[in-house]
Structure 1
Amino acid sequence: MDKELKRMIRVFTAMCILFVVLIVYLSCFQVFTAPKIKNNSYNKRLWIDEENILRGMILDRNGKILAYSEKTEDSSIRHYNYGSLYGYIIGYSYREYGKAGLEATYNNELLNLKESATLNEIKKIIEPNGEGNSLKLTLDHGLQEMANGLLKGKKGAIVLMNPQTGEVYAMASQPTFNSSTLKEDWKRLVENPDSPFINRATSGLYAPGSTFKVVTSVASLETPNVETNYDCSGSIKIDGYKLKDYGGKAHGKLDLEEALVKSCNSYFAQMGIQVGKNKLGEVSEKFMLNNQIPFDLPVKKSSFPYKEGMGKTDLAASSIGQGKVLVTPLNMALVASAISNGGDMVKPILVKEIISPDGKVIKTNYTETISTVTNSLVANELKDMMVEVVKRGTGTNARIKNIKVAGKTGTAENASGKTHAWFIGFAPADNPKYAISVILEEDGTTGGKSAAPIARKLMIEALNRIK
């Protein structure tokens, strides 16, 4: 009898363990895995909803229709009015290739689906031929056209935004793809070595070059007792490694402002060592490096791996935006925004409103501060220095008549051998309404020569279009 009882206890224990394992598995699946499967763009159940519901429109900030759906006998056709102009932003929605861009991020909203599957099924019974919600973007179609035109024939990205509200007015990435002709172009696109499906504005990771000196400057201004005067001889030796200034030019005696105006590598290399990797890393993270930037599209994390045993040589290189530092153009637009905004970095906004089929605004994305990168005294001091960069330094090609512009150029070395050309800045400097980031990938020129004029043209257009 004792043996029989022990056998029953073992069987019962085993059944209890199996039951607990099953419960744990189902719980984990429901919490962690189910949402990913549900929202996966290749989930065929999503396309059943597409047949029953007319997908909502996507509009620019002025109500211009960028994408809409038209009902057919069997299903519906998605129309993209401006093809490649919004390919990497709006993305696409195709049975064969899934969904990307805003079509993926806001799929439930565009189909007017609730989180509850039960509510969705009831909705389909009551209203089998319903309409989805529309998205009103912060983008200005005219500025978007111009930004893409300024990048024509180049690889790179542009982000133009309002530093006070976070609204993105233009986001260009080249090369790109045409959402309307995706079926015809698919094979050519996936085989293209220039990766046209990558939104370089949000997912391109680049060495920032001298634009990163803005971050190093903040660390310098916040660190007490650093020596801000330096005599530049055209190069500096750090642990036996010789770091040169652009063209080997000796800048002579400099303070922080003159070093930023002339973009002196030697100055900022030794400054980075003075402030130390922990301080520079702390300031970098306030500028959202090593952090996830909240946005309506996927964003790659910019990185500054200062906690990974960084020596003096790496720290010096990082202080001038080389070495191990990698950033996205969106992140650098936010760097400029934060300085222009007195040290407050606001969340970038691409989708301003979600509008119901009957025209009611059911959700609005409001301005939100995501980081205070420094205090207003430091931000304003640096702002004045950036004005001098454009007034009489490396950024003179960004000057606008009767408008005070602040900025910083960058020329970043990379493995290809051709430099990236950068410009970040904002205008009007006294009351900033536009912050901008421009990168020309592997352009082989300097930021002052090629990226600054692009920023200038787009900011002039913005000043005339958006009041």
Structure 2
Amino acid sequence: MKKSTTNSRILHIFILISLIFISLIVYMSYFELYGKESIMANSYNRRLKANEAGIIRGQIFDRNGEVLAFTKVSDGAMSRNYPFKNLYAHVIGYNSDIYGKTLLEAQYNDTLLGINALGLVGNIVSLVTGEDKTGDNLILTIDHNLQAKARELMGDSRGSIVAINPKTGEILAMVSTPDYNPNESSLEKNWDEVSTNESSPLLPRAILGLYPPGSTFKIVTAIAAIEDGLVDFKVEDTGSVIIDGKTFSNSGNKAYGELDMTSAMAFSSNVYFTKLSELLSSKKLIQTAEKSGINKKFSFDLPLNKSSINTEISSKTEFAATVIGQGKLLVTPLQMALICSGIANEGVIMKPYLVKSVSDKNNKVLTETIAKKLYKFTDAKTSELIKDMMIEVVRNGTGQKSAISGVEVAGKTGTAQNEKSNQGEGNDHAWFIGFAPAENPEIAIAVILEYQSKDGGQIAAPIARKVISEWLKNKKK
């Protein structure tokens, strides 16, 4: 009896030890695969700071060689310097001994320290020669002049501007407001205010902000409808329509009479598109949205929030709301810039990127980003039809304030209801997306202004016009 009891205890102990051992293996495997990078990047990791000691962090340049970030060495002490202060806070981020690293400073930390195959060779040479160890440089796709113009136009508004080359995926400008000064002295002085402010100045809205797209999403709805054979659908717009007991109205309850898809897009008729929802399948709309990148993750130079659409739409009213960019639908400004780029680029969305190339301290190019396709959004014929509709939006519709003399602009306005919309005027989000020149697009843009008293056509479209004009003017030089 005693022997049996002893054997049982030994078995239990063996099982317990085995479980502990297996748990350790699982944990170490998980740490190696998923947890290591976050621990290594943590600002409290002393080993990380020790690894950086004595290395001059690489510089960051714009596409034309403007210095956006560099390390200042004084009396043996090093400090990261951002000469344009707030302007690149939501692109480059910050590198701080106290608060850690964010955005490009974090994502490209090893590169900026020269901790890679090529960089290590350079640092070994530095050890032999006695020279300072120096990391590699980042050359961005951002155009400094365009970035500065976009930031100027945002003023005190909350929101974002994303400008992209639709043919290559290069990010030309990316602004999020409000922002902050990432220099160490300013961060330390203002951290409490910056980190607790209700306007979230630390949030890079362009890539992490999630918003209802409003009527800009009608582009996606139109593509789904065209591919579903509904291109000739027409409606008598009386200003409002009832879908399954719920009333949907145009802005200001305006009635537009008989509308086809082009004129409905131009006037941004909610009546037309909600009536269209009675013929269009929710499955088709969701598939089209997902082809644009919604509900998908993709790799980028910075952390991204995934845009999302509800895949289990349960009622006619929810679907009607979704087709006009409301309902359970949230997108980032970058996502809307990509959707616009897909139309500009014959239905192909190129993979967006911020880092154009990496160079060593002698400006020798080590790596260069190659443009490549991300998604096939739609076919060239359908994208051409949508482009013509977007041109009409700017010529005769809600986007006329984005028009540029001598340049054909294609665009779409949007005014999106949100959690504050029912609290009174001044709470809807104002959108504009567009590209130009329409016949040979060089720039696509998304603009969002949070909690505005005016619609996207009134305030977001003029901003887009000025950003596009700035880019086209610079291209001519």
Structure 2 length as normaliser, TM-score? 0.92
Q: Which residue of 1 aligns with 2:308?
A: 303
d(CA) in 2 for partners of 1:200 and 1:326? Answer: 13
Please give the secondary structure, in 2, of the residue aligned with 1:438: strand
Identity of aligned residues (%): 42
Q: How does 1:76-225 map to 2 (within 5 A)?
A: 76-114=78-116, 129-180=132-183, 181-224=186-229
d(CA) in 1 for partners of 2:472 and 2:48? Answer: 42
Q: Which residue of 2 aligns with 1:446?
A: 455
Question: How far did residue 440 of structure 1 move?
Answer: 1.0
Q: What is the CA deviation profile of residues 270-291 of structure 1, one whole-angstrom value per residue up to 9, with x for unaligned ones?
A: 2133212111100001111111
Q: Does 1:48 align with 2:53?
A: no
CA contact (8 A) 2:123 2:133 kept: no
CA contact (8 A) 1:208 1:321 kept: yes
Q: Which residue of 2 aligns with 1:28?
A: 30
Question: How far did residue 30 of structure 1 move?
Answer: 2.1
Cα distance change of structure 1 residues 199 and 18 upon mapping to structure 2, 3 Å threshold: closer
Question: How far did residue 16 of structure 1 move?
Answer: 5.2
d(CA) in 1 for partners of 2:472 and 2:241? Answer: 42
Cα distance change of structure 1 residues 106 and 427 upon mapping to structure 2, 3 Å threshold: same
d(CA) in 2 for partners of 1:409 and 1:13? Answer: 65
Question: How far did residue 197 of structure 1 move?
Answer: 0.4
Greater Cα offset, 217-226 or 82-91: 217-226
Q: Which residue of 1 aligns with 2:39?
A: 37
d(CA) in 1 for partners of 2:358 and 2:221? Answer: 39
1:361 pairs, out of 353, 356, 365, with 365
Q: Which residue of 2 aligns with 1:376?
A: 380
Please give the secondary structure, in 2, of the residue aligned with 1:410: strand
Question: How far did residue 24 of structure 1 move?
Answer: 3.4
Structure 1 length as normaliser, TM-score? 0.94
Amino acid at match of 2:65: G
d(CA) in 1 for partners of 2:17 and 2:158? Answer: 61
Amino acid at match of 1:171: M
Cα distance change of structure 1 residues 278 and 41 upon mapping to structure 2, 3 Å threshold: farther
Question: How far did residue 293 of structure 1 move?
Answer: 3.8
Q: Does 1:419 align with 2:425?
A: no
Q: Which residue of 2 aligns with 1:57?
A: 59
Question: How far did residue 14 of structure 1 move?
Answer: 5.9
Amino acid at match of 2:470: E
Q: Which residue of 1 aligns with 2:389?
A: 385
CA contact (8 A) 2:268 2:398 kept: yes
CA contact (8 A) 1:389 1:406 kept: yes
Q: Which residue of 1 aligns with 2:297?
A: 292
2:245 pairs, out of 229, 240, 243, with 240
Q: What is the CA deviation profile of residues 349-407 of structure 1, one whole-angstrom value per residue up to 9, with x for unaligned ones?
A: 11111111232211111111110011111001111111111011111111111111100
CA contact (8 A) 1:51 1:74 kept: no
d(CA) in 1 for partners of 2:61 and 2:190? Answer: 25
Question: How far did residue 26 of structure 1 move?
Answer: 2.6
CA contact (8 A) 1:235 1:248 kept: yes
d(CA) in 2 for partners of 1:40 and 1:331? Answer: 29
Amino acid at match of 1:422: W
Please give the secondary structure, in 1, of the residue aligned with 2:189: helix
Amino acid at match of 1:61: R
d(CA) in 2 for partners of 1:58 and 1:226? Answer: 48
Please give the secondary structure, in 1, of the residue aligned with 2:258: strand
CA contact (8 A) 1:236 1:243 kept: yes
CA contact (8 A) 2:232 2:260 kept: no
CA contact (8 A) 1:356 1:362 kept: yes
Q: What is the CA deviation profile of residues 72-99 of structure 1, one whole-angstrom value per residue up to 9, with x for unaligned ones?
A: 4454111111000111111111111111
Q: Which residue of 2 aligns with 1:282?
A: 287
CA contact (8 A) 2:39 2:45 kept: yes
Question: How far did residue 313 of structure 1 move?
Answer: 0.6
d(CA) in 2 for partners of 1:440 and 1:68? Answer: 32
Please, what is the CA RMSD of the aligned residues? 2.5
Please give the secondary structure, in 2, of the residue aligned with 1:56: coil
d(CA) in 2 for partners of 1:393 and 1:385? Answer: 10
d(CA) in 2 for partners of 1:196 and 1:76? Answer: 26
Amino acid at match of 2:412: K
d(CA) in 2 for partners of 1:370 and 1:151? Answer: 29
Alignment length, in residue pairs?
465
Please give the secondary structure, in 1, of the residue aligned with 2:408: coil
Cα distance change of structure 1 residues 397 and 4 upon mapping to structure 2, 3 Å threshold: closer
Question: How far did residue 21 of structure 1 move?
Answer: 4.1
Q: Which residue of 2 aligns with 1:340?
A: 344
